[in-house]
Amino acid sequence: MRHRKAGVKLNRTSSHRDAMFRNMVTSMIKHGQIRTTDVKAKELRRWVDKMITLAKRGDLHARRQALAVIREKDVVHRLFAEAKERFGHRAGGYTRIVKLGHRPGDAAPMAMIEFVDPALAGSADTAEA
C-alpha cells in the first residue's frame, strides 16, 4: 500500500526525478509554460505551486529554500520580484494544465502546463521539455 507517500515515481531513481523536476521548474518559471507528458505536468504543478508560495512569502529563508530547488539566481530573483504582485490575491492554484492529445511516437498523453496569470510568462516563446 502507498499510504502517506506523496509524489510519483515515474520509473526513475530519486536523484534523477529530483533533477528532472528542478529543471522543469526552472524552465516553467523562465518561459511561462512548457509542454510535457500529462503525469509529469500534474507532478510539476506541486513543485511550481510550492515555489510561488515561497516567493509570496518573500523573506530570506524562503529565498534560500527556493535557491535549493531552482539553482539559477536570476530565475529566483525574477520569481521573487514578480510573484507577489501577480499572485498576491490568489490562495493557490497558480498553474493550469491543458491536455494536448497523444504524442505520435509512443502515444503518451501530452499536456501543456502554464501559469494562470499570463503576465508572469516572460516571453512569447514556449519551451519543450
Domains of the chain: 15-128 (3.90.1030.10)
Q: Which helix (H) or strand (E) holds 52?
A: helix 38-57
**CA 89: distance to chain centroid?**
19
Neighbours of 34 (CB within 10 A): 23
Tell me the pLDDT band of 124, cut-offs 50, 70 and 90.
very low
Model pLDDT, residue 8: 92
DSSP state of 105: T
Residue 23 pLDDT grade (very low, low, confident, very high; cuts 50, 70, 90)? very high
With cut-offs at 50, 70 and 90, classify the pLDDT of residue 86.
very high
pLDDT at 119: 62
Residue 86: half-sphere exposure toward Cβ, Cα within 13 Å? 22
Residue 128 banded pLDDT, cuts 50, 70, 90: low
Helix 60-70 to helix 38-57 angle (10° resolution) is 150
